[in-house]
């Protein structure tokens, strides 16, 4: 097959595909499907919805920070709506009397914003959605190694997500102690109540157990698939970097999540069975000695939590690198620079990410030996991060860049992630961190990595693979209207946070610092600025939502299975790929990034091109499977 413009019919119109098995019913095709692509899309849509919801929570918080004590706008309008009106009235009566956000509500939204963004938004999108859809296609597999497990993984995630959402309507409301849920605060909030099973915090813990089980099944599936279902010729060093990043991410999920599961289970025990895993002796609440055995340790919770949560930040960022490393070479028409170095960096990153967790705990009074150890490993881990970023930047060098929407997002990712990463470095040193810990500086640091970083990468991925998934393009003009304001407002939001942090703004102030006016008054106006940034960002997303909505049914049709002239295997499938993915058995003849190879007819030579020079015979074992 040569790399020219060929279009396959939709796979399910292909008679060769249909004779063997009859079409499954609608329910099994779209809802309880075991097809990795459907599951990927399910994860993608639910992830986007969660992302939107988490963003909505933050906008409410930003209102209170900018205008403490002023009633929220729009409550009256919502109360007047037909179906949900009553719920809104009832709920605001409890949590926002007179439309004024109560401190409890602020805490609830804060905790749930973090939780939803990290565990139900970014990870499901970056890892589960893109990984599920793209990875098996890129390695030439017909599906995941364990398709049923894959469906289970999604549904466990879904149950976990629904539990989280439902917890908003409990009498105690949802969890209120930050996404980190530190004990003893998290344990003793809504602790002496009639039934601790029916409290938001307990549901948070139960939901996490579901989400963790889901990601466990997912990661087992990803790794097995990557190891055992690679197509003929797909050696490890012919895997696109995307797949490598997914492999490392899977290992992080596999091995880092269990300790969080332990933390969740132990805190659950503390709450509902009255144990004292995380409660020290002599704990006093509201002036009263608690009736507990004591003897536990809040630090144990922090260890278990951060043992997960540091690797977790790489779970957030690696899928972003995965996507960017496909989008940039494709649109710069240049090979990925330093592919092997990037692979080794990702592996190193994965390994080191398990050894740095206590840099979140410098303030807990650890011994100096250990503080030194964690400072060293934290500085070390920035080296592979810098290598990844640098390789991507060098890949742009000398390219003939196509600035379509996905490329805009991808190139913007680079400096944004750069700012995020560089601002992390000072935090690595305990003497600086003592000052900056729990201030807006830290919020600025990680949001630069995750918001204009990972989320931009996710947008790039959506624009990039949308044609493969739906058979239609997204609109590029709307895309640009989406991109430029997003870039602007992201910086309006997160930039001033560094300044706020330096001057001591605490990350959990309900009134944005108004109560400490003596020290904060010079910078209080930045609160308003940031909030305007947040609402502006919301407006920019309208372009995306409209674009997505319109393009699904009315976007320009894809006439070529490989519309971006890309090189990886997913572009040799029919558009969209049917059940079983490939029409003929995919074979890999070369590395993943052969762009602008001198002497080749076109400026790209796909991995599945066996004709162009440089093709080498498949090295791995033949896939015995029939493709029907």
Partner 1 sequence: MANSPEEVAKHVKTYLKVGAALLFLTAVTVWLSYVDFGTHSRNMAIGLTVATFKTSLVVLIFMHMNHERPLIYKFMLFSMLLLGVMFTLFVFVHDDGLIMRGYQAVFGKH
Partner 2 sequence: MEIPYTVTARPDTGLWNAKIGVWLFLASEVMLFGGLFSSYIFLRLGADYFWPIHELNVKMGCFNTAVLIGSSVTIVMAWAGVKMRNYKMYFWNLLITILCAFLFLTVKFFEYKSKIEHYGVVLKDGTILLGHQPEEGYRYKFNADSVTLNFKEADPPYFMRFATKPAGEHGGAHDEHGSAPAEILPIETVKFKTESGKETTLAPADFQALKSEAKAAKKDSLKLTPVQPLAFHAKPSKLASHSEKSLAFLDGTLIEGKLVSDKMELHVDVIDTRAAPDADKSMAWAIFKDAGWKKAFDESREEHLKKFNETHPGQDPMKSDHYLREALRFEVHGETPAAHEAKHKEGVGFFDDMPWAEHHYPTVEIEGKDIQRWSNFLPKWNTYYAIYFTITGLHGAHVLAGALVMLYFLVFNSRWFKTDPEHLANRVETGGLFWHFVDLVWIFLFPLLYLL
Which spans of this chain sit near partner 2 (rule: CB under 8 A)?
20-21, 142-143, 145-147, 171, 192-194, 216, 219-221, 223-224, 227-229, 254-259, 261-263, 265-266, 269, 273-277, 281, 288, 291-297, 300, 303-304, 307, 579-580, 620-621, 623-628
Crossing angle of helices 298-332/241-272, nearest 10°? 160
What are 354's two structure tokens? Answer: 């398990």
Between 80 and 294, name the residue whose CB sits nearer to partner 2. Answer: 294
Contact between 590 and 621 under an 8 Å Cβ cutoff? The reply is: no
In which element (H, E) is residue 370 found?
Answer: helix 368-396
DSSP character for 197? G
The entry of ligand HEM, Cu ion, partner 1, none near residue 6 (CB within 5 to 8 angstroms by kind) is: none
Which residues, listed in sequence order, are joined to residue 289 by a DSSP beta bridge? 284
- Note whether 596 binds ligand HEM by CB under 6 A: no
Contact between 260 and 208 under an 8 Å Cβ cutoff? The reply is: yes
Q: Which of 306, 423, 295 is nearest to 363 (CA)?
A: 306
Q: Counting beta carbons within 10 angstroms of the beta carbon of residue 434, is it exposed (0 to 12), middle (13 to 18) or buried (19 or more)?
A: exposed
The entry of partner 1, partner 2, Cu ion, none near residue 310 (CB within 5 to 8 angstroms by kind) is: Cu ion
Tell whether the torsion through CA atoms of 222, 223, 229 and 233 is positive or negative.
Answer: positive
In the complex, minimum distance from the CB of residue 254 to partner 1, in angstroms, rounded to a whole number:
9
Binding mask 365-384 vs partner 1 (x if CB under 8 A, - otherwise)?
Answer: xxxxxx--------------
Between 241 and 362, name the residue whose CB sits nearer to Cu ion. Answer: 362
- Note whether 102 binds ligand HEM by CB under 6 A: no
What is the rounded CA–CA span in Å between residue 11 and residue 515?
A: 63
The entry of partner 1, Cu ion, ligand HEM, none near residue 227 (CB within 5 to 8 angstroms by kind) is: partner 1
Which residues, listed in sequence order, are joined to residue 506 by a DSSP beta bridge? 439
- Note whether 277 binds partner 1 by CB under 8 A: no
Between 252 and 524, name the residue whose CB sits nearer to partner 1. Answer: 252
For the chain, how many residues are written? 628
Is the bond preceding 576 in cis, omega lying within 30 degrees of 0? yes
Between 141 and 490, name the residue whose CB sits nearer to partner 2. Answer: 141
Binders in 145-204 for ligand HEM, by CB under 6 A? 180
Between 315 and 540, name the residue whose CB sits nearer to ligand HEM. Answer: 315
Is the bond preceding 526 in cis, omega lying within 30 degrees of 0? no
Q: How many CA atoms lie within 13 A of 189 on its CB side?
A: 23
Binders in 284-343 for Cu ion, by CB under 5 A? 310
Residues 6+ apart with CB under 8 A from 549: none
Binding mask 237-266 vs partner 1 (x if CB under 8 A, - otherwise)?
Answer: --------------x---x---x-------
Select the span of 74-82, 162-170, 274-282, 352-360 touching partner 1 (CB under 8 A): 352-360
Q: Is 419 strand, coil or helix?
A: helix
- What is Dmax (Cα atoms) for the chain? 81
Binding mask 395-434 vs ligand HEM (x if CB under 6 A, - otherwise)?
Answer: --------------------------x--xx-xx----x-
What is the rounded CA–CA span in Å between residue 197 and residue 201?
A: 9
Q: Which residues bind partner 1 (CB under 8 A)?
A: 227, 251, 255, 259, 299-300, 303, 307, 354-355, 358, 361, 364-370
Q: Which residues bind Cu ion (CB under 5 A)?
A: 310
Residues that bind ligand HEM (CB under 6 A): 180, 313, 316-317, 359-360, 378, 382, 385, 421, 424-425, 427-428, 433, 436-437, 442, 445-446, 449-450
């Amino acid at each position: 097959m040569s790399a020219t413009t060929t279009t396959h019919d939709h796979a399910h119109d292909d008679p060769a595909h249909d004779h063997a098995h009859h079409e499954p019913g609608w329910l099994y095709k779209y809802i309880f499907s075991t097809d990795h692509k459907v599951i990927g899309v399910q994860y993608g849509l639910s992830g986007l919805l969660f992302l939107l919801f988490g963003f909505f929570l933050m906008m409410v918080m930003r209102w209170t920070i900018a205008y403490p004590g002023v009633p929220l706008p729009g409550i009256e309008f919502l109360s007047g709506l037909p179906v949900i009106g009553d719920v809104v009235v009832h709920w605001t009566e409890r949590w926002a009397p007179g439309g004024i956000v109560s401190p409890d509500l602020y805490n609830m939204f804060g905790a749930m914003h973090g939780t939803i963004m990290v565990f139900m938004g970014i990870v499901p999108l970056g890892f589960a959605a893109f990984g599920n859809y793209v990875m098996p296609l890129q390695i030439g597999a017909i599906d995941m190694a364990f398709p049923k497990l894959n469906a289970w993984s999604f549904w466990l995630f879904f149950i976990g997500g629904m539990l989280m959402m439902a917890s908003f309507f409990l009498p105690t409301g949802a969890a209120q102690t930050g996404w980190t849920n530190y004990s003893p605060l998290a344990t003793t909030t809504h602790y002496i109540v009639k039934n601790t099973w029916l409290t938001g915090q307990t549901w948070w813990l139960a939901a996490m157990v579901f989400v963790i089980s889901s990601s466990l099944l997912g990661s087992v599936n990803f790794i097995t698939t990557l190891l055992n279902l690679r197509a003929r010729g797909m050696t490890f060093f012919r895997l696109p970097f995307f797949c490598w990043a997914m492999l490392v991410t899977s290992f992080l999920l596999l091995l880092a999540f269990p300790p969080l599961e332990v933390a969740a289970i132990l805190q659950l025990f503390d709450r509902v069975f009255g144990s004292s895993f995380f409660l020290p002796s002599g704990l006093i609440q509201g002036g009263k000695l608690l009736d507990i055995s004591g003897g536990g340790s809040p630090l144990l919770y922090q260890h278990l939590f951060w043992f997960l949560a540091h690797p977790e930040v790489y779970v957030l960022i690696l899928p972003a690198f995965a996507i960017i490393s496909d989008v940039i070479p494709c649109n710069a028409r240049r090979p990925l620079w330093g592919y092997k170095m990037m692979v080794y960096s990702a592996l190193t990153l994965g390994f080191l990410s398990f050894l740095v967790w206590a840099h979140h705990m410098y303030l807990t009074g650890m011994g100096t030996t250990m503080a030194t150890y964690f400072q060293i490993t934290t500085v070390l881990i920035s080296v592979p991060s810098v290598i990844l970023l640098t390789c991507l930047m060098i890949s742009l060098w000398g390219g003939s860049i196509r600035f379509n929407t996905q490329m805009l997002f991808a190139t913007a990712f680079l400096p944004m992630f750069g700012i995020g990463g560089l601002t992390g470095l000072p935090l690595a040193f305990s003497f600086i961190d003592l000052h900056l810990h729990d201030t807006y500086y830290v919020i600025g640091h990680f949001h630069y990595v995750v918001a204009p970083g990972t989320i931009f990468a996710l947008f790039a991925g959506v624009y990039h693979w949308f044609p493969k998934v739906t058979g239609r393009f997204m609109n590029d003009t709307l895309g640009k209207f989406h991109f430029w304001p997003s870039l602007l407002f992201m910086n309006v939001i997160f930039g001033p946070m560094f300044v706020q942090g330096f001057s001591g703004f605490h990350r959990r102030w309900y009134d944005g610092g108004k109560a400490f006016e003596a020290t904060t008054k010079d910078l209080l106006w930045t609160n308003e600025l940031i909030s305007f940034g947040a609402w502006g960002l919301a407006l920019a997303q309208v372009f995306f939502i409209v674009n997505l909505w319109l393009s699904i049914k009315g976007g320009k049709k894809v006439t070529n299975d490989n519309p971006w002239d890309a090189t990886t295997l997913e572009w040799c499938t029919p558009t969209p790929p049917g059940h079983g993915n490939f029409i003929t058995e995919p074979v890999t003849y070369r590395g993943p990034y052969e762009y602008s190879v001198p002497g080749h007819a076109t400026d790209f030579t796909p991995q599945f091109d066996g004709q162009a020079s440089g093709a080498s015979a498949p090295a791995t074992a033949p896939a015995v499977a029939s493709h029907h």
